[in-house]
Structure 1
Amino acid sequence: MKILLIEDEPKIGLFLCEGLTDLGHTCDHITDGAAALKAAFSGGYDLIILDLLLPTYNGFEILETLKGIPSQAPPILVLSALSDTKHVIRALDLGAIDYIKKPFDFEELLARIRKIKRMQSQNPIYHLQIDDLQLDLLTREVTRSGHNIQLSSREFMLLEFLMNRPNQVVTKAEILKGVWKINFDPGSNIVEVHMYQLRKKLELDNSNSLIQTVVGRGYMIMGDIIKS
């Protein structure tokens, strides 16, 4: 893989690039946020490993900028000393595919990279459709009966998670792990709030509700799925 490493700590950057190169990857190391954006826009990378605490532009600003060009931006794996759940959630909301907290184990990083590589090597799915609801994974557009529906990044991820599991009950714990990357229940109503907002946006005038609440178990999206 051709990897762009955006990391302002020289020792960490050297360690990572040497380790990745030894394993056959190509690694370009950049320490400055502005230079990193320029490199990312140049294209050709299979993966970006991104620190959040950077000079010029921080990692959140880089994620925000790259989110606007999903067709050009490669997967972004965040590697950061910011360990609070709020930072993880914000990075994932802005489009990061994964998040590893420093200090980290190099073998774990390699495992995450292998997972991303496997995802890229599989036959890609760009479009999901259930009844009159369509989701485009490249343009990140959602339409229903021809009407464009504006979703937040998290709402989009939640809808994609459900549409990949049609007619299947998914629990709150499964949603937290799959969409928020949280392996425990933080005791908040974050899933319920986002589910309510998503349903409200999807339920156009005279349209049936595709997302059902299964009392005591979780949620389920109903319909025949078409993947292409």
Structure 2
Amino acid sequence: MTARNRTPIVLSIVAAVLLVAVVIALTALFTRGPRAAESAPATSAPAAPAAPSSPASTPDAAPTPAGGAQIVLAADGFSVVDAAGATTFTHGWGDDAQPAVAALTDLFGAAPTEGFQSGDAHYYAYALYEWGGFTLADVSLGDGNKPRDEVPDPTWVAYTANTVADVEIVPEFGLSVGMSADAVASAVPDQESADRAQFGSDRQSFYQDGSRGLSVVVNLEGGAVTRIAYRYVATDL
């Protein structure tokens, strides 16, 4: 076969090879699955805002006394006066004791310690309500006693500190716990002995005239006042 006759054969073979290559390429193109999407770079989700912290619950606090308050003592009873000078409670010596116990509990910020004082030939028995250095006494009557409205001092008070739980105790006659015996004498008591002095004895009264007035009794020890009480004194010192 001549070279001229071989040329078409070679060209046919080349064309056939190219055709096969094209078919293979097209087949691969259409049968190939879609390209997997590239993974997006991981991003951290924005942090959720912190929930506002709620205040920790605390147990109910016990009542606390208001600084600057006073108990002002007088012949016919006592008054509770707040820091602004307003009277918030009054108690007469013949009044029922329980409202006073409640008011003093609020004032001092604590319940009282309860005690009992036995009676004798001169004095009735009393239930005692004590807050530190301050005591409120309430008469305890039994069979054979006079009715309450005929008791000279159904209630009375005594104290051994000028300030109790931030509450100032204010008596009459310029008296105070710790005051010297000489200063007590200078205040001119109605009666005086080595260990006691009494002021306001002329105002003592009870059921005969419908009102109660108590005197002020001062206990002295070591040359100074150790206790002041508002009560009825039936005998000489």
TM range (shorter): under 0.3
* Larger strand percent: 2
* Larger helix percent: 1
Larger Rg: 2
